[in-house]
Amino acid sequence: MKRSIAALAACGAVVGAAAVVLPQAAAAAQGCRVDYTVTSQWQGGFQASVKLTNLGDPVSGWSLGFGFPDAGQRVSQGWNAAWTQSGSAVTAANVDWNRSLATGAVVDLGFVGSWSGSNPEPASFTLNGVTCTGGTTPPTTTTTTTTTTPPPTGRTPVEINGQLRVCGVNLCNQYNRPIQLRGMSTHGLQWFSRCYNNASLDALATDWQADLFRIAMYVQEGGYETNPSGFTSQVNNLVDMAEARGLYAVIDFHTLTPGDPNYNLDRAKTFFASVASRNGAKKNVIYEIANEPNGVSWAAIKSYAEQVIPVIRRADPDAVILVGTRAWSSLGVSEGSNESEIINNPVNATNIMYTFHFYAASHKDNYRATVSRAAGRLPLFVSEFGTVTATGGGAYDRASTAAWLDLLDQLKISYVNWTYSDANESSAAFRPGTCNGGTYTGSGVLTESGAYIKSRISTPDTFPTS
């Protein structure tokens, strides 16, 4: 359902059911517009986006109020605001980073809710106690937050977009237009190489309609360091298989333990010199130089990046390069920091993006707030995420995953799900044993997580070509 409410409201008019207490120092607004959209719904639950536009004077501190008409509706999780509910009255108050709203300013909010029996839309909204009333557009039901159109018939993601580049904070295609790529990551090649063959890559390209394939080559844990030439050859073969199907390939130097990427600096230089020389003429390759730095300073990560990037550039001057961030690629959040350390001390290189990883059951509102804030200052790429806990296991969290993917769609941030494998863990897309059978299509081979991620990835892309 979508409803637009716009007005230059009279001061002091308040919706009784949704009356709110204004934050201290908040100024009254003279007018506002709210676009409320139910982006998805399922038995007993739904997800909504709320786009607030301030049509009145600038405010410093704001509170959006509305009332659910059905007593069974509850906000269970929200983002980009501090959400509270008392009875049927809901309040979304500013957080520190979006406290000020200039005239004409827009803030995008959202929440996951529960319902019993029905899911009617709110009747009206208030901004700092002033009612937003007026013209409406007829309610509609959507399944995503954006309108999608299919790409030209018979053309692959690489054929359409060509050589990628970073423009501002966006990933852009050959037409210098921002795009979003969506795809899947392998598990460790040393454990699950049987999952990556012609049949599984065909399924990824055609059944899943994915845009990219991340090749996770562990360095330790029985990976690259045990057989450099063998793993390099395996990566190159998978790059070729992705290229043949028109998929972008992320070559992931999957460092995890130890967390300081400088431990593998010499190995990284050797590996990337080899794969960049071999694949430098291809348009489908993206390089990820350090998977999840942890327990190490941003300064050390930056130093590593500034030594590895020139090695790639000598052989491949045009490809996009992904740089891992502090605290398991959380922009530092998981170790008590945030994106400001990167903004204040960026990597001295061009055509790069910074990675962000999340696991939906573990990383919620404060992580989403960081991404929302950082996306306006840094080019971000979610090169790994899971629908479960940070361990790769635990309960599948559909609500948090949906909130994350809606946010990434809204911000046009590319994402890659962990994992395209049949690992005996809840993050895997395939049921255990699938890779032994050779059939990768159809709902019967998918886990609960895999079925949901496939439903999100296989929606049509919106690649601009002019």
| Whether residue 292 lies in the annotated active site | yes
- Which residue of the set 288, 339, 341, 384 is catalytic? 384
Tens of pLDDT along the chain (466 residues) come to 433 333 333 333 333 333 333 333 334 445 788 888 876 666 677 777 788 888 888 888 899 999 888 878 888 777 778 889 988 889 999 876 678 888 877 787 878 778 776 677 887 888 888 888 643 333 333 333 333 334 444 589 999 999 999 999 999 999 999 999 999 999 999 999 999 999 999 999 999 999 999 999 999 999 999 999 999 999 999 999 999 999 999 999 999 999 999 999 999 999 999 999 999 999 999 999 999 999 999 999 999 999 999 999 999 999 999 999 999 999 999 999 999 999 999 999 999 999 999 999 999 999 999 999 999 999 999 999 999 998 888 889 999 999 999 999 999 999 999 999 999 999 999 999 999 998 999 889 999 999 999 999 999 998 998 8
2-132: CATH number = 2.60.40.290
State how far the alpha carbon of 104 is from the alpha carbons of 13, 80, 107, 115, 410, in Å.
Answer: 21, 18, 10, 33, 19
Say whether 157-457 and 2-132 share the same fold: no
| Whether residue 384 lies in the annotated active site | yes
Structural domain boundaries of the chain? 2-132, 157-457
Superfamily per CATH, domain 157-457: Glycosidases (3.20.20.80)
- Which residue of the set 243, 292, 339, 341 is catalytic? 292
Q: Per the structure block, which two tokens stand in for 231? A: 């793993």
Long-range contacts of 301-305 (CB under 8 A, 24+ apart): 301/261, 301/325, 301/326, 302/345, 302/346, 302/347, 303/262, 304/261, 304/262, 304/265, 304/268, 305/347, 305/349, 305/352
